[in-house]
Amino acid sequence: MNSPDALVALTNPFNQISLATILLVILLLAYFTLHFTELETAQKLCNSAWTSLRFVWNCCLKPHTGDGTGSQQDALESFYKSQAGIYDATRSKLLHGREDMLGLVAAQLKYQAKAGQLAGKPVWVDVGGGTGWNIEHMGSYLSVPHFFHKVYLVDLSPSLCAVARARFERLGWKNVVVVCQDARSFKLSEHESGVSDDKAVFSIGESAMEDGDAADTAGADLLTMSYSLSMIPEFHPVIDSLATLLAPNGIMGVVDFYVQSKVDFQSRNYTGGVIDRHCMWLSRVFWRTWFEADRVSLEAARRDYLEYKFGTVLSTNARNHFFGFRIPYYIWVGCAKQTKSSLQNLAALDAAVTESPFISALDLQRSQVAKPRRSDSAVGLRSKAYESAIVNLQASLPLPAAWYQQHHWRIYYDNELQKHTQFGDEYIYAFTWEDAAVDLRLLKINSEDVILAITSAGDNILSYALERPKRIHAVDLNPNQNHLLELKVAAYTALPYQDFWRLFGEGRHPDFRSLLIEKLSPHLSSQAFDYWLHKGPSTFSPTSRGLYASGGSRHALYLVHWMGRLLGVSEDIKRLCNAETLNEQREIWAKRVRRVILSQLLSYAVIGTERFLWKALGVPPAQRAMIEHDYVRSLDRTEQPSPPSSPSKSSSSRSEKKKDLIHKPEEAVASGLKSGHAIWSYGVNTLDPVVHNTLVSSSNPYYLLCLQGHYTQRCHPLYLSPRAHLSLSSASAFDGLRIHTDELAEVFERMQRGTLTIAVLMDSMDWFDPRGGEAEGQVKMVNRALKMGGRVLLRSAGLRPWYVATFEGCGFQAKRVAARWPPGACVDRVNMYASTWILTKVAELEDLE
């Protein structure tokens, strides 16, 4: 439109009214904004809007051409120069995970300082540090001016470095040096005195631990990269130079964007966990294309090469929810790939796992590398952890992440095997369902005992640890059960009693995420840390049901509470939990509560179903068959189970029909047995004696937890007492703990003969099919691993389980030390199992042949 046409348009009355209306609306908006809003607030709104517009322009619209030289510095300046002043203000929502990375590396440094692993004040190099945001915010975790000897910010952008210098001048931090330099050529020896030039040569492609001379060069105790690795075109030489820059015991932290497919990493055993690492195809394509416009590269090779050049200490993957989008990013904490300590401890740790004599780690490594693999009979038993480490060393790969942990409680396992992934991200038991006090009374643990026990929720493992045995091997096939035990052990090590109680007494903690990152992380394996970072905040949230309403066992608890509300006995259940005397408790139980919890309709329709028994209560079909079998026998009044002191061996003389009921429970149903009634009867024999003999409010924490969802200071398991915390929070309390994620048979098979003194199998033998040979195979392995006179403690849903005869035929003497007979007997505070057995090894298998 030319000028005459514009003038004609303005003379049009309709256009004049429209223009006046627009101006009036703008005037009114400005008036009301200024009148009802403080000037300072209005300025903030304007500044925020202007900052956002500049961010959108620079990151999404502006072409980044530079001056045509094609250098990396020119490219960075093209991107950052016009937004250097607003960089920090616009990245708080986009660059998530920086605070978490800083918290994790700070926790590692604190632990190293406390453990005496730092010779002096540490040196920190922040590579691609930009405006210095990381260094200033490290002050939330450590005193930068006092904790660090020197801090070097290395960045190639002059504009960002200028902002950083102004920041530290304002803060008055004299020990921070801003270096505007290519990270590939940065040499710490040029800034730190006392290191000669001939010792300060960094060999590309070689780490400080791969060259004897390079190991003596100046090294940084902490290296960090925050969203800078993805901005470097030639990342291989940068990562190579960082491998030489890191001190032998140094820590490195990285947070950055990424995209990756599970095909790339699924065969690696050194990544330290893979929860949420896989990105969908659309996510990979979209984010790589989007970020490439700003010269940010998200290809998987950057993270892969980082993990190849260093050992992984901690690793996790997350998504940044940015204006409705989910941008993948990762946090990684690493160390030197082959540290002296990992090589020196390799054989010592393997010996502790297999209970073998200790031999030099380096001698074993050389013997393995120099000649082909031989059978176990030739070189001795080896753990899976040792075998995986040798394979990685031969291939110049980092060791599995378990080798780089501050503690070696958790034994390496392949988290991608189907036998582990079948459990998903859920444990079955949030609390252990065996009476630890009875275990301790029966076992009489001493300092020479070597114990193997099923982990479950770890409560009994901790009770055994209070007796300070020589070693405890905790075994569970479900990785998540072992994650729970690890969390409890880390909490003992790092937290005061008040926090420990809130986590595991009350089952909730408002600052769980902060505790995990800042205090617990140095004491957790990478897989356990990754698991709890994803699951813990929601599990322990004050607004959630708490820890004890999580896991598969929560379904049973939910059912009890739901039925209580539905039938109006919720208040009676609360009164039951607060009853002061047994008479008061029995009265409340008999009048109101019993008819809900022991409802026959509930047993028939829900609890008696196979799916509910397995999913909620962890009762497998074989164990359910034992319950049904004992119930059928109880229907015949002439066939009463034998008393505890003299187990009957005359079961073979029973009628053929009833003898086969345990093998064919469907025939029992066909002959008139109602499965729901069998389960109901089992529940009656469990709960009625408990209510009549133990006071829930003060002496039975197992049922108190089930009824109210948490423990009390008056009533809790042994491991939650202040005295237990004082004992187990000492530095060496868990030196003898080894946590195995595997089948019992695998762990027994890899142990030296005659080394265990106690095996606590809980009710695991109930899970075997009587028609198979697996039970006999495991019993023989137990015999082989136990010392002469060693004992097996087990519980069973059967009064005389079929496999007791298998033990007796494999060199064991059986003694039933508790049984729920006659009906109404209460064997312990849980009373869930029909019998408890001690089986003592009296003969070697070879002597029986």
Residue 64 has pLDDT above 90, yes or no: no
Task: Evaluate whether residue 501 is within a structural domain.
Answer: no
Please state the three-class secondary structure of 209-244 as a single string.
HHCCCHHHCCCEEEEEEECCHHHCCCHHHHHHHHHH
- The count of structural domains within the chain is 5
320, 336, 352 - which closes a domain: 336
- 52 & 90 share domain: no
- Tell me: the pLDDT tens digits for 658-667? 344 444 444 4
Do residues 153 and 262 share a domain? yes
Q: Is residue 278 part of a domain?
A: yes
Lowest-pLDDT range, 79-88, 196-205, 607-616? 196-205
471 and 364 within one domain: no
Per-residue pLDDT at 59: 52
Q: What distance in Å separates the CA atoms of residue 295 and residue 169, rounded to the nearest whole number?
A: 31
What is the per-residue pLDDT for 665? 44
Q: What pLDDT does 10 receive?
A: 60
Instruction: Quote the pLDDT of residue 838.
Output: 98
Residue 517 domain-assigned (yes or no): no
My answer on whether 39 and 165 are in the same domain is no
Would residue 536 count as lying in a domain? no
* Same structural domain, 45 and 171: no
**Domain's final residue, options 336, 359, 385:** 336
Q: State mean pLDDT over 470-494.
A: 97
pLDDT value for 193: 60
What is the structure's pLDDT at 275?
A: 93
Closest CA to 409 of 427, 430, 385, 431: 385
Does the structure show a pLDDT above 50 at 203? Answer: no
Distance CA 55, CA 90 (A): 7
Please enumerate in sequence order all residues whose Cβ is within 8 A of that of 375, keeping only pairs 6 or more positions apart, or say none. none
Give the CA radius of gyration of the chain: 33
Output the pLDDT for position 671: 41
Q: 290 and 271 in one domain?
A: yes
* Chain segment 750-780, per-residue pLDDT in tens: 999 999 999 999 999 998 988 888 999 999 9
- At residue 196 the predicted structure's pLDDT band, cuts being 50, 70 and 90, is very low
- The residue among 708, 734, 765 that closes a domain is 708
Assess whether 728 and 596 both reside in one domain.
no
- Higher pLDDT residue, 637 or 408? 408
State residue 647's pLDDT score. Answer: 42
Q: What was the pLDDT predicted at 14?
A: 65
pLDDT 10s digits, 307-365: 999 999 999 999 988 767 889 999 999 999 876 455 566 777 777 778 777 554 445 45
143's CB contacts (< 8 A; 6+ apart) are none
Same domain, 569 and 679: yes
Do 21 and 140 lie in a common domain?
Answer: no
pLDDT tops 80 at residue 605:
no
Cα gap 241→233, rounded to integer Å: 15
Q: Return the CATH number at 820.
A: 3.40.50.150
Give me the pLDDT at residue 689, please. 95
Instruction: Give the highest mean pLDDT range of 223-232, 353-362, 640-649.
Output: 223-232
Q: Looking at residue 526, what is its pLDDT? A: 96
Q: CB of 204 within 8 A of CB of 239?
A: no
Average pLDDT over residues 253-266: 92
* Domain assignment present for 419: no
- Which uninterrupted H or E stretch holds 117? none
Q: What is the pLDDT of residues 90-115, one digit of tens each?
A: 456 678 899 999 999 999 999 999 99
Q: Is residue 446 part of a domain?
A: yes
DSSP helix/strand/coil, 702: helix
Quickly count helices (H) and strands (E) in the chain.
41, 14
Across the range 146-166, mean pLDDT stands at 92
Contact call for residues 492 and 729 (beta carbons, < 8 A): yes
User: What is the C-alpha separation between 6 and 507, in angstroms, rounded?
Assistant: 73
Binned at pLDDT 50, 70 and 90, residue 637 comes out as low
Per the DSSP assignment, residues forming a β-bridge with 538 are: none
Note the pTM of the prediction, 2 decimals. Answer: 0.83
808-837 per-position pLDDT tens digit: 999 999 999 999 988 889 999 999 999 999
> For residues 703-739, b (16+ Cβ closer than 10 Å) or e, as one string?
bbbbbbbbbbeebbbbbbbeebbebbbeeebbebbbb
The domain of 362 spans 340-404
Average pLDDT over residues 257-280: 91
Residue 815 lies in a domain: yes
Among 74-83, 302-311, 633-642, the range with the most confident prediction by mean pLDDT is: 302-311
Average confidence (pLDDT) over 673-685: 75
Q: Give 215's pLDDT tier (boundaries 50, 70, 90).
A: very low
Same domain for 135 and 235? Answer: yes
Residues 733 and 637 in one domain: no
More confident residue, 197 or 751: 751
* Mean pLDDT value of segment 739-746: 94
For residue 134, is pLDDT > 80?
yes
251 and 388 share one domain: no
Q: What is the mean pLDDT of the chain?
A: 82
pLDDT score of 449 = 97
DSSP 8-state assignment for residue 271: S
Per-residue pLDDT at 118 exceeds 60: yes
Q: Of residues 411 and 643, which shows the higher confidence score?
A: 411
Identify whether 200 is part of a domain.
yes
Cα-Cα-Cα-Cα dihedral of 239, 244, 245, 246, to 10°? 90
